[in-house]
Every structure is written in C-alpha cells, then in structure tokens.
Amino acid sequence: MNKKYTIKNIDCGHCAEKIESKINDLSSVNSCQINFLSQKITLDIDDDKVESAMVEINKIVKKVEPDCEIVVK
C-alpha cells in the first residue's frame, strides 16, 4: 500500500538520495521515493509491515540527517 508523508528539515538533494537508497534496501519496503523539492516521501509497504518498517525508516532518516523527521498525520 502506498503511504505519503511529509519529510521535514531535509537539507539537500544528496541526503534525500542517500535516505531513499537505504530505505529501498529494506526488505520490508517495496519501494521508496523522496521528492526533495516538495519535501514528500512516498512509501510502498505491505500493510502488515508498516509499523516495523517505520521504526527502521526513522532510524535511517536520523542517521543520515539528524534534524530530519517524517511527519505521520
């Protein structure tokens, strides 16, 4: 299922690419796309894996860009 979130405080396109690449390497994520200009992240994750995947995704985001956060509405 596709989930769209805002990704705040991402400083550069290179960091966005780095985060996107690392998230795409997760076995629980089918695909990830980050649009740096609109500050949006689109994740394709199976419904039963969303909770555990988001824990790993947030760890990746914080490791690459400590001030960055994914806003889940």
CATH code for position 63: 3.30.70.100
Distance CA(53)–CA(13), nearest Å, equals 23
The helix/strand/coil state of 43 is: strand
Range of the domain at 47: 2-71
pLDDT at 1: 86
The tally of domains found in the chain comes to 1
pLDDT at 46: 93
**What percent of the chain stands above pLDDT 70?**
100
pLDDT at 48: 94
AA letter at 53: A
pLDDT at 72: 83
- Say if residue 73's pLDDT is above 80: no
Give me the mean pLDDT over the 13-37 stretch: 97
Give me the mean pLDDT over the 12-28 stretch: 96
